[in-house]
Amino acid sequence: MNHEDPLISIVIPAYNEEEYVEDLLRSIKAQTYKNYEIIGVDSYSTDKTKEILEKYGAKVVETPKSNISFARNAGINEARGSIIGLIDADYILDKKVFQEVVKVFDDDEKGSIVCVEPKPRMSRKGLRKRDWLKFKMLNFSIYLYKKASFRTLVPAAYGCDFLRVSAIDKAGVFNEEIDVSEDKEFYARLRRYGAFKMLKSGVKVSYRRHAEEGLLKTWFIYFISSISIFFTGRFKFHFRAIRKKNRAK
């Protein structure tokens, strides 16, 4: 690392994520690129989430339990880096993700790229063995959908994204009136200021909510939220918490 390496600010919203967040933090510590800070946004967890975040050197910002938009904005407000990584607590990164993110932004001399996202891969944690093939197929479909959407005005970016702070300054932060599909509304605004790109390196994606709620119900809620956001600019719906212990990885 040298003094010209940009600082990446990693924002991790979390509430009672002790069964998952340590896997993410280990993958962050294993990164080949070392100039980063970790900001954990904890909504007064009742388990060991806060202690685990602090164990891995995260700056913990405690906020009331509201929604993901509120938590992400709280983390963005504390960030010092020129690149912000918004990562959900149940993801796991390949070790060269940060290195590739910085290279993409460094090579983009015109600043035309505003968001970089790792390639999604399926995480088996929280899934029954009989469901692995189903979610593997779902993950491949999502990968193709994301790749295609990055060429449109409404990119399907969510879960693990790296953004130029200068682009967030132009587009504004997340709309806190939106509980579900908040990323769709936010990234549609961000897309006005540049392109989205997918990395070769990947991230393991959790499909625990789809497994617990059911695919049809989960996608129906996201569909209804998208319609509501389009017409009203807001959507309120609280998923029940998904906290399952002792699942196989």
Tell me if 43 is assigned to some domain: yes
Residue 31 covered by a domain? yes
Answer whether residue 238 is part of any domain: no
Residue 244 has pLDDT above 60, yes or no: no
Over the stretch 75-100, which tens digit does the pLDDT of each residue have? 999 999 999 999 999 999 999 999 99
The stretch 219-245 carries a mean pLDDT of 66
Task: List the beta strands (DSSP E) in 21-135.
Answer: 36-42, 59-62, 83-87, 92-93, 113-122
Identity at 46, one-letter amino acid code: T
Residue 155: which residues within 8 A CB-CB, separation 6 or more? 115, 146, 149, 187, 188, 191, 196
Which run of H or of E encompasses 213?
helix 208-213
DSSP E strand boundaries for 83-134: 83-87, 92-93, 113-122
Which residue from 77, 85, 63 is spatially nearest to 6, judged by alpha carbons?
85
**Model pTM score:** 0.88
Given pLDDT bands bounded at 50, 70 and 90, which one contains residue 21?
very high
The answer to whether residue 15 sits within a structural domain is yes
Residue 248 falls within a domain, yes or no?
no
Indicate the average pLDDT of the chain.
89
- Look at residue 8 in the predicted model and tell me its pLDDT: 98
Assigned domain for 48 exists: yes
* Angstrom distance (rounded) from CA 73 to CA 76: 5
The domain tally of the chain equals 1
- How far apart CA 7 and CA 199 sit, in angstroms, is 19
The CATH number of whichever domain residue 17 belongs to comes to 3.90.550.10
What phi and psi, each to the nearest 5 degrees, are found at residue 160?
-155, 100
The pLDDT value recorded for residue 82 is 97
* 73: containing domain: 8-232
In a domain, 137, yes or no: yes
